[in-house]
Chain A
Amino acid sequence: MIIPGFVISILTFPGVVVHELAHQLFCRWCKIPVYQVVYFQMKNPCGYVLHERTNDPVKNFLTAMGPFFINTVLGALLILPGSVQVVAFRSIAGTGSILNLLLVWIGISVLMHAFPSTGDAKSMVSCILKNPEVSVPAKILAAPFIGLIYLGAIGSMFWLDLVYAIAVALAIPNLILLFL
């Protein structure tokens, strides 16, 4: 089923806000000036961060991939209580259910917006892969991430972002049980 991307973004706007905030914070930590931040808008793109271009490959990698790590970790922690109830037990009743449903919605929203944009990928291509000052091992390390970003962008047309969110929701409790 094809649903316009901006409709999905409206339904999952907390994830958009967290994604852009993560970009902004990584820029701050990497001492990269930010010109403008739009945390959410009702058009495409639904959010963006305009910042100074950097040729530092590490800073470039962190600012591009930062939202992926932040959204994934935050989303996984938020969704855990709800995922056990709603996903594993298939229950929406019981004590604290409204709160758990809220946590599931926010957790799914945050996880669905974990993938960096193709703009971030292009920046990484330019600043890392095409940068003669970056070592070959570093390029080899960065390349899969860039590939995954493009895969994520294409896959989002086929609900890959939702699949990722649900996979994390299901995987986290099982991973934790492995260590208990």
Chain B
Amino acid sequence: MEEQCQYCQIKSIDRGDNPESVLCRECREQLIRYPVPKKIMVAAVILAVLLIIALLQFPNRIREYKIYRQAETNAQEGIIYSTLVELEELCAKYSDSEKLPLKILKIAMEYGYYDFAAYTVNTYLQGKKLSEWEYDEVLKAVAVIEKYYATYDAFEALIQDADQENDVDRIRQELTRMEQENTFYRPLVSYYQGMVAKDQSSAAVQYLKAYQEDSNLTYAAAQAANYYRRTGDLKTARTYLEEAYGRNREDPEVLRGMAIVEMLEGNSAEGLTMAEEAYRLSPEGQYVADTYLVALMENGKTKEMEQVKKTGTESGITWDEQLEEFLKGKMTLADYYCGE
């Protein structure tokens, strides 16, 4: 007697597809398509919608994660300012995160962006719960930042009401005293000593000292390079600038310095690239716009030059006479940039 299907109890079991089957063909076909309840279908639809939402967020989240993960690598390659700005945007978005501001603090302190570090501590780390190790790192950073700003504030106070001719000796003496004190940031003191040095040669010595004491002071290296450039020693100027550029590819002073050296060596196009980047980063930086105008002229981009000049004038920049002479073609590049 044939065995009956254990589901319908009517038809015979069909073992054609599976020798161990206990079902007839019709019941088998029916149970292969065992229905999914409506509740589960609704849940599946909700899940599908959430999946679509997750996938739509996918590109932005990956981009944000990439910024975070590659921040230190980018900084090591000299892309420091842009990295810090991107991380700060993430900080503003995820304001309760402590990982993001700690990352900014680490990079900012390592590469001498103490203003960024100070802003991050004040804005994003105040009141956050940190581990003991994280707290210690923040305290160490704050100690360096305080020393840096104590030096900055002391110098600002010195020059605030200073009479340029009479007080410069007093300022030099005061800076010499500050150099001996542990409460001030020595590399910055050296830089300030360069700013008030009695001649350009002494200034270059101080700038190089500042840079050697802290390789993050790439703008100090740029100032020293400017001295060598003015004396016609483009090789030494280039050496210091390239070293500083390797450390920080977004220092407007370094970029400006390199742009000038490139143009003086006949590489106008490369000079324009550097000058443009410096201008993008610091359109109001001292002489940055000037150098950009020069680079545009050297590359025959007169129309763009006029536009940039107009923008600068409208924002309050006063162009010096020598630049005007150069732009009118009454001065050569070498005369403008060498022997100042």
Chain A residues proximal to chain B, CB less than 8 Å: 14, 17-18, 21, 24, 27-28, 31-35, 37, 39, 52-55, 74, 77-81, 84-85, 88-96, 99-100, 102-103, 106, 173-174, 176-177, 180
Contact = CB atoms under 8 A, between A and B. Distances in A.
Contacts of A54: 18, 20
B93 A94 contact: yes
6 contacts: A33-B32, A52-B22, A89-B100, A103-B50, A176-B62, A177-B65
A74 B53 contact: no
A176 B20 CA distance: 45
A88 B99 contact: yes
A77 B47 CA distance: 11
Interface stretch (B36-44, B246-254, B293-301, B328-336): B36-44
B17 interface: yes
A78 B65 contact: no
Bin the interface of chain B by size: 35 or more
Contact of A89 (B19, B31, B62, B90): B90
Nearest to A107: B54
Interface string B66-79: 10111000000000
A32 B20 CA distance: 12
Nearest to A110: B47
Contact of B34 (A17, A37, A89, A94): A37
Contacts, number: 118
A88 B31 contact: no
Given A24-B36, A37-B34, A89 B47 contact: no
A43 to B, nearest CB: 19
Interface of A is mostly: helix
A37 B23 CA distance: 18
Given A28-B34, A33-B32, A77-B51, A85 B94 contact: yes
B11 interface: no
A74 B66 CA distance: 22
Interface of B is mostly: helix
Contacts of A18: 47
Contacts of A39: 37, 40
B61 A99 contact: no
Nearest to A21: B40
Contacts of A100: 57
Contact of A177 (B51, B55, B62): B62
Contacts of B28: 33
Contacts of A80: 54, 57-58, 61-62
A55 B20 contact: yes
A176 B55 CA distance: 13
Given A55-B19, A77-B51, A96-B57, 17 more contacts: A27-B34, A31-B32, A33-B23, A33-B28, A33-B34, A78-B51, A79-B54, A80-B57, A80-B61, A89-B99, A91-B96, A92-B96, A93-B95, A100-B57, A106-B47, A177-B62, A180-B66
B125 to A, nearest CB: 13
A63 B200 CA distance: 82
Contacts of B7: 35
B64 interface: yes
Contacts of B55: 77
Given A28-B32, A34-B34, A77-B51, A88 B65 contact: yes
